[in-house]
Amino acid sequence: MSVTIELKGKNAIVFGIANDKSIAWHIAKRLNDAGCRIAAAYQERVEQLFMPLMKELNNPIYAKCDVVSDELLDSFFKKVKDEFGEVDFLIHSIAFAKREHLQGKFMNIDRRGYQVAHEVSAFSLAELTRRTVPIMKNGGSIIAMTYLGSERATPGYNVMGVAKAALESSVRYLAFDLGDRKIRINAISAGPIATLAASGISGFGEMLLNYVAKSPLKRNITADEVADCALFLCSDMSRAITGQVIFVDAGYNISGL
């Protein structure tokens, strides 16, 4: 049986494109290539690397946005509503913690650092979902990005692990909020990929080596492999899947090594 995933006539909101290494970029490109139009939100600080990428997409819309600014969120979602009317998918591929909180001891986190990490990396999923639902009129699929550090204490991952636990739990509660609207929501738990965000994690190089040594597939994964899973989760092929954390990690999470 050969199956081609077609998303012609569909629209996706994508948060998290910083550069061509971003997981969000690989997902946006994959959805675009399947026929879907993209509404991309970018942070001002990444504008120079973000803009040239938009030329590679088919008729995208894009605007500056930051999930800690109600004003920017209002204007981004107004633009999406005005230009798309309706959307089918929301990709949440953002996270932030101060670099000094991604090393050393977790207990040294300060109150503000904890709040910021949770606001940007976890609360924002509920915020973006609430703003998307009114324009997701015909059901849809929402995807968030997470990491195994949510359930295993991973040296250096620290507050981000705690925020990812909140994010994954949010996915389960949101699945119940959204099910009767035929909106599905899932998280993809990816193995380590060298991106801007990953460069902030101390010991990231060792993580990459660890996956080669201990995963069943004896290798690292690529952002394209995450994008393939995202394409599946946006398609009707995954129509009975919601509230899940799906691992795209060469099987590392099952290892007892």
Residues that bind ligand NAD (CB under 6 A): 15-18, 21-24, 43, 46, 66-68, 93-96, 120, 145-147, 190, 192-193, 195-198
Residue 173 is a catalytic residue: no
Q: What is the DSSP letter of 123?
A: I
Least distance CB 247 / ligand NAD (angstroms): 10
Distance CA 119, CA 69 (A): 11
**158-178 helix and 111-118 helix, angle to the nearest 10 degrees:** 40
Q: Which is nearer to ligand NAD, 78 or 181 (CB)?
A: 78
Shortest Cβ 34–ligand NAD spacing (Å)? 20
Which residue lies nearer to ligand NAD by CB, 3 or 159? Answer: 159
Query: Measuring CA to CA, which residue among 256, 242, 144, 124 is closest to residue 190?
Result: 144
Residue with tokens 């998307």: 132
Give the integer Cα–Cα distance in Å for 114 and 101.
9
Residue 138 or 199 having the CB closest to ligand NAD: 199
Render the burial of 168-187: b for 16+ CB within 10 Å, e for the rest. Answer: bebbeebbeebeeeebbbbb
CB of 138: closest distance to ligand NAD in angstroms? 26
Q: Which is nearer to ligand NAD, 51 or 68 (CB)?
A: 68
**Choice among 147, 173, 211, 252 that is catalytic:** 147
- Is residue 93 a contact partner of residue 125, using CB atoms and an 8 Å limit? no
Catalytic residue, chosen from 157, 173, 211, 252, is 157
CA terminus-to-terminus distance, the chain: 37
211 catalytically annotated: no
Minimum distance of ligand NAD from residue 96's CB (angstroms): 4
Hey, which residues are catalytic here? 147, 157
